[in-house]
C-alpha cells in the first residue's frame, strides 16, 4: 500500500488540504474532518473520472504534512508556546514568530519541534493510568 501526502494549511478560521498532482481540494475544522472530507472528495473524483491520475489508482494511506505555522496555530489550545519551548529547547518568543509567520524556521529548528513532539508522544504512549 502506498502513502499519499496530504498538504494541510491554515486557512483563516479553518484548514484547507490538497494533494500535489491530484485535482482534489477540501476544507475542514480539524484534521479528522480534513481526512473525512479528503476521502469523500477522492471518492467523488474517482466516480467522475474513468481514467484517474496514477497516484489514486491503487490502495493508499494518507499522511498529513503541516507547515510549522499551521501546526503551532492549530495545536495552540493544547500546546502553549511555553510548553513547546520546554520540549523543543526553542525560545518561546521565536515560537511566537513562527506561529505568526514573521519568521519561517530553518530546517534544523523545524526538526527540533518535530523531534520534541515525537519524544513527548512516545513518552505519553508508554503511560498506563490506574
The domain ranges of the chain are 2-66, 68-125
d(CA 37, CA 64): 13
User: Is the sign of the CA dihedral 102, 108, 114, 119 positive or negative?
Assistant: negative
| Per-residue pLDDT at 13 exceeds 90 | no
- Region 90-119: what's the mean pLDDT? 95
CATH classification of 2-66 is 3.30.2390.10, yes or no? yes
Q: How confident is the model at residue 1 (pLDDT cuts 50, 70, 90)?
A: confident
The pLDDT value recorded for residue 11 is: 86
| Per-residue pLDDT at 54 exceeds 90 | no
The pLDDT value recorded for residue 50 is: 83
| Per-residue pLDDT at 53 exceeds 90 | no
Sequence-distant (≥ 6) Cβ neighbours of residue 4 within 8 angstroms: 19, 22, 55, 56, 60, 61, 62, 63
**Cβ-based neighbour number of residue 90 at 10 Å:** 19
d(CA 16, CA 85): 27
φ and ψ at 37, to 5 degrees?
A: -65, -35
Amino acid at each position: 500500500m502506498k502513502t499519499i501526502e496530504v498538504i494541510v494549511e491554515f486557512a483563516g478560521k479553518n484548514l484547507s488540504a490538497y494533494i500535489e498532482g491530484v485535482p482534489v481540494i477540501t476544507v475542514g475544522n480539524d484534521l479528522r474532518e480534513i481526512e473525512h472530507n479528503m476521502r469523500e472528495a477522492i471518492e467523488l473524483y474517482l466516480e467522475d473520472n474513468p481514467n484517474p491520475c496514477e497516484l489514486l489508482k491503487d490502495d493508499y494511506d494518507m499522511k498529513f504534512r503541516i507547515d510549522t505555522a499551521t501546526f503551532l496555530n492549530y495545536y495552540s489550545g493544547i500546546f502553549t508556546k511555553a510548553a513547546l519551548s520546554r520540549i523543543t529547547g526553542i525560545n518561546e518568543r521565536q515560537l511566537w514568530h513562527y506561529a505568526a509567520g514573521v519568521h519561517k524556521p530553518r530546517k534544523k529548528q523545524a526538526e527540533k519541534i518535530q523531534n520534541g513532539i515525537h519524544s513527548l508522544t512516545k513518552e505519553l504512549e508508554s503511560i498506563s493510568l490506574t
